[in-house]
A = this chain, B = another copy of it.
Amino acid sequence: MTFPSKVKIVEVGPRDGLQNEKETIPADIKIALINQLTAAGFANIEAASFVSPKWVPQMATSTEVMAGITRKQGVIYSALTPNMQGLTAALAANADEMVIFGSASEAFSQKNINCSIADSIERFRDVALAAKQAGKRLRGSISCAFGCPYQGEVSIPAVIDVLQRMRDLGCDEIDIADTIGVGTPNKVKTVMQALVQEFPIDRLSGHFHDTYGQALANIYASLDVGISIYHASVAGLGGCPYAKGATGNVATEDVLYLMQGLGIETGIDLDAVVEAGQFISQHLGRKGSSRAGNAIAAKRASV
């Protein structure tokens, strides 16, 4: 057992989660959500994406959102920066961490951005350099690390290759993402064990989707490897674009319940996160997909 005694939970609901919503969510709702999450104790919140509103209309309010939130000292507010234009906007908005991304699946890269994995990472060189020069943290996010909707299997050497490229661009933290949720725990362990040979274990994160219900088992398996950073989305915000109606991001409440049970410190107030989840679910007009969140809310309602 190499279980960490403390983990960092990166709350990705405001960006990765809400980005998947069709209806435009007003900036003030996003601001209120991020403020609630800040108050709940998260040390890192993915708050914005400075991508062209032509491509992702939901993120058009990113500058407004970043300007409107009440920041807490020490909390990292991250933003996706797909290109130099995005980086310039993210710097202007004073994001604390810039996020670049790439796929470990060649088929996914070709299909989504019509270029090779290697080229897709190379395109981030200027962004990475400018981020570092501005004294910002740089995070790299590797999608399809455990499987791909187009090519199926993704090899460990392919994941390592992207990891090395991101490391060489100066990434401070790298996310290993199960974009379509097909990972299962022993596979996850094997991949993570290979990756910690290539990058410091305390700067590798697990980003798991609950599409097939495996996310918590995969997090438990990653904890056993010693991984101590996990992404999660309040109320399970964010569906799966590859299976309409299926679940996407693992729900933060479920992850916190797991960590509490394991005696692992997070610094986050689960009850406050349940509140935040109820707030955004109410705005979206539907029940959230966090099992722990729904159970805790139901118990509260019955008191």
Contact = CB atoms under 8 A, between A and B. Distances in A.
Given A212-B295, A214-B216, A216-B214, A183 B261 contact: yes
Contacts of A244: 298, 301-302
Interface string A234-273: 0000001011111100010110011011110000000000
Interface string A260-293: 1111000000000000000000000001001110
A246 to B, nearest CB: 4
B294 A245 contact: yes
Contacts of A247: 291, 294-295
B295 A240 contact: yes
Interface residues of A, number: 43
B294 A246 contact: yes
A226 interface: no
A187 interface: yes
A211 interface: yes
Given A214-B216, A217-B217, A184 B243 contact: no
Given A181-B295, A185-B220, A212 B245 contact: no
A10 interface: no
B290 A243 contact: no
26 contacts: A181-B295, A182-B261, A184-B261, A185-B220, A186-B261, A186-B263, A212-B254, A212-B257, A212-B291, A212-B295, A213-B253, A213-B254, A213-B257, A213-B291, A214-B257, A214-B258, A216-B216, A217-B217, A217-B219, A243-B294, A243-B295, A244-B298, A245-B287, A245-B298, A247-B294, A247-B295
